[in-house]
């Protein structure tokens, strides 16, 4: 096991023998802990024909495990005043919990059970597929959500960064438990996971809890996650969708700097100057003088900024 400080003393980092990376931050003066697992499984790793499979798997993980029903998962942390949630982004899937420090063992046990031992039953998939199809319909019916989806697709196409995280009606309707099990077998392994905890948490105690709740015993075995294909050259493009309604929603954006590029800090300052508050130029011109609504800002997606 490798162990070293990652900055200030309250930050710790360890890599277990099975490849699991463990990060912690000790926050003085609190009694709660946030605990989560970041998994390298997301839309950027998908093929076009399986678009949405990472998000669908995230939903299905909540439908039960080998030893917990969906209801038991839902009640497990809420019964002790905690919370449990998850989300899929373009670059990772996250399962996270917030609990009092006394219940960190429980949070680690529940999330570990969900991540490594999901049931993935056909009967659950039929229902959850309907839920996601409704989510897709909600985006289509919400112009201020749809306009960002269209912009993202135009900005990155044909790169997977331009894929919809939810998938499409066609791809989600085709996905079955075989595809979910295949993705789980490739990605949900320790070498592709970062566990992080912040709050009233001692790093050595966290490692003991992970050992006690089975995280340290899960063997390696995942398929190396493919690197995202190189970004295509940016070709200026526009998308226009006509809908009935009283408002027009417009997004204008471009690619900018990678996440680690120090110029990103200047870009954030520029964003604040242009639209970061009521005194910003766009707010004063568009809202105060023209009476329109504006939402300027910098949206970060890992190695790129829009």
Query: Hey, which residues are catalytic here?
Result: 58
Please measure the distance between the N-terminal and C-terminal CA atoms of the chain and give it in whole angstroms.
Answer: 38
Cα–Cα distance, 173 to 37 (Å, whole number): 28
- In three-state secondary structure terms, 23 is strand
Locate all alpha helices (DSSP H) within 117-192, ordered by sequence. Answer: 122-140, 143-156, 169-174, 177-187
**How far is the CA of 267 from the CAs of 155, 258, 259, 303, in angstroms?**
19, 11, 11, 14
- Residue 79: CA count within 13 A, CB half-sphere: 9
Determine the Cα–Cα distance for residues 208 and 219; give it in Å rounded to an integer.
17
Distance, CA of 237 to CA of 154 (rounded, Å): 6
């Amino acid at each position: 096991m490798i162990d070293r400080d990652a900055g200030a003393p309250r930050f710790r980092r360890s890599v277990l023998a099975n490849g699991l990376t463990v990060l912690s931050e000790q926050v003085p003066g609190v009694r709660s802990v946030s605990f989560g697992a970041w998994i390298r499984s997301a839309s950027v790793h998908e093929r076009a024909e399986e678009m949405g499979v990472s998000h669908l798997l995230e939903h299905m993980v909540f439908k039960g495990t080998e030893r917990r029903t969906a209801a038991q998962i839902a009640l497990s942390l809420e019964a002790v005043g905690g919370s449990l949630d998850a989300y899929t982004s373009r670059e990772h899937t996250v399962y996270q919990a917030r609990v009092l420090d006394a219940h960190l063992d429980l949070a680690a046990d529940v999330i570990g059970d969900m991540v490594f031992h999901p049931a993935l039953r056909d009967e659950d998939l039929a229902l959850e597929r309907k839920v996601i199809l409704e989510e897709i319909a909600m985006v289509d019916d919400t112009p201020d959500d749809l306009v960002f989806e269209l912009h993202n697709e135009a900005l990155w196409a044909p790169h997977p960064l331009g894929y919809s995280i939810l998938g499409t009606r066609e791809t989600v309707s085709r996905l079955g438990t075989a595809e979910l099990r295949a993705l789980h077998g490739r990605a949900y392994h320790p070498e592709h996971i970062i566990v992080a905890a912040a709050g009233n948490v001692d790093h050595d105690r966290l490692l003991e809890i992970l050992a006690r709740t089975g995280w340290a015993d899960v063997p390696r075995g995942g398929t190396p996650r493919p690197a995202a294909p190189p970004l295509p050259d940016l070709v200026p493009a526009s998308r226009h969708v006509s809908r009935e309604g009283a408002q027009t929603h417009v997004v204008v954006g471009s690619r900018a700097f990678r996440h680690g590029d120090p110029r990103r800090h200047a870009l954030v300052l520029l964003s604040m100057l242009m639209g970061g508050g009521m005194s910003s130029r766009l707010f004063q011109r568009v809202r105060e003088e023209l009476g329109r609504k504006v939402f300027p800002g910098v949206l970060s997606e890992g190695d790129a900024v829009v």
